[in-house]
Structure 1
Amino acid sequence: MKRDEKIAHHELAHKAMAEAEDYIRRGRHLRGLPTDDLESEFVSSVQLVVRDGDDNASRLAMHDALAEFDLRGAEPPYHLVREETRVMAERGKARNDARSDEERQRIEHGIQARYADAEKKKQ
């Protein structure tokens, strides 16, 4: 795997871990849901995020469902939200494209620093 890919994977894992820790700290309220209900929660929260990308409650619900799937060792039903995922990816790209070069560099340096710190801790 190339270094850039390792950095990207690390950043995604870092973000997922932080969101899972937050979810657990808030009581892991989806723990008792049957898988079918958790899937429904995930799909509806993703749909709400697509409708209103600035709705923090929907975004938090989506991250909570993702964290619960991860804690169960299960895969979220991404196949049920393909179109929504595409829309979110387009919006994210547009947000990134709207950033200044300086801001993109600042973000990139932060990501690289987190990766470098993690690599040092491994040694």
Structure 2
Amino acid sequence: MAKTILAVDDSVSIRQMVAYTLKGAGYNVVEAVDGQDGLDKAKSQTINLVLTDQNMPIMDGLTLIKTLRTLPEYKTTPILMLTTEAGEAMKSQGKAAGATGWMVKPFDPEKLIEVVKKVIG
């Protein structure tokens, strides 16, 4: 059974690139256009890994992570930030919110697959 990854990003091109990369590696991918959309989709199905951007309209990545971590089914689910934000302060905020890891855009597709395999197999 393929694992399901939720890709949350307001950039259509980034979502498409993430989905293409991960589907090619055998994962199911659910796409969300912002944090609120991601939260709604996470609540409606089983997600094995969340990949989220930080800077999005309606709900940003940190708020999404904090909100997911309040839900029993997402207490231990891996959540990776995939964002242009590379500053240490932002990484600290991500870790405090409950992010499992951090990748900076633009991302290397092979590196993304490598990190995902490490986190969820």
**Common fold, TM-score beyond 0.5?**
no
Higher helix share: 1
Higher strand share: 2
TM-score bracket relative to the smaller structure = under 0.3
Structure of greater Rg: 1
TM-score normalised to the size of structure 1? 0.26
Higher RCO, Cα 8 Å, sep 6+: 1
